Amino acid sequence: MSLNDDILKVLYSEEELKAKCAEMGAQITKDYAGKNLLLVTVLKGAVVYFTDLMRAIDLPCTIDFMIVSSYGSGVKTSGVVKIVKDLDTDLTGKDLLIVEDILDTGLTLSYLKDMLAARNPASIRIATLLDKPDRRKADIKADYIGYRVPDEFVVGYGLDYDEKYRNLPYVGVLKPEIYSE
């Protein structure tokens, strides 16, 4: 049995994702010309998107990583945000772009944005590969959005269910019987 057997349908192919990263990278390059760009990604889910997006940005920039958790091994957020690994970079005066895999309820990203804003960056914006507005609980919006997705459980391209499926080269909808067992 392969990972592909657990997927109900493919939402975005590997080729579509590469093209979307190129498009978003070009816009970010334009918007951040002459600025002090710091890309911050939230591991683990955003790592694949982050690396593709970062390579599509044609500007000098620095990077840093955080590990933030609010899911555990379930499919629904716990609502409690835990910083597992904080940034190593001083944000003062930096133009911060938070790179996230999916904007779902918005609780984690809202908490993160408020926390990072207190560290005196010059600006904060958000880039997300996937936006799931039907599930939003916090008043937060991304500045750069790859795709709006339906309220289904998506995996692949870094996104996981119970730490599996991150290595799929596409974004797909996981069959409900996989996560409702």
Contact 28, 83 (CB under 8 A): no
pLDDT at 1: 61
Nearest 5°: CA angle at 148, between 139 and 136?
A: 25
Whether the pLDDT of residue 72 is over 80: the answer is no
Active-site positions? 104
For residue 167, how many C-alpha atoms fall within 13 Å in the half-sphere facing its CB? 5
Structural domain containing residue 42: 3-179
Residue 44: is the preceding peptide bond cis (ω within 30°)?
yes
Question: What is the distance between the alpha carbons of residues 76 and 174, in angstroms, rounded to a whole number?
Answer: 14
* pLDDT of the residue at 179: 85
127 touches 144 (CB < 8 A): yes
Q: Decide: helix, strand or coil at residue 13.
A: coil
Q: Domain containing 43 — which CATH number?
A: 3.40.50.2020
Could you give the count of Cα atoms lying within 13 Å of 107 in the half-sphere of its Cβ? Answer: 13
Each residue of 11-32: pLDDT tens digit? 999 999 999 999 999 999 999 9
Task: Work out how many domains the chain is built from and give that number.
Answer: 1
In this structure, are residues 99 and 49 in contact, taking their beta carbons and an 8 Å threshold? yes
pLDDT of residue 35: 97
**Cα-Cα-Cα-Cα dihedral sign, residues 79, 143, 85, 166:** positive
Are the beta carbons of 71 and 98 closer than 8 angstroms? Answer: no
Tokens of 174: 């996981």
Q: pLDDT, tens digit, for every residue of 74-86? A: 555 556 788 999 9
> How many Cα neighbours within 13 Å face the side chain of 180?
6
Provide the 8-state DSSP code for 175.
P
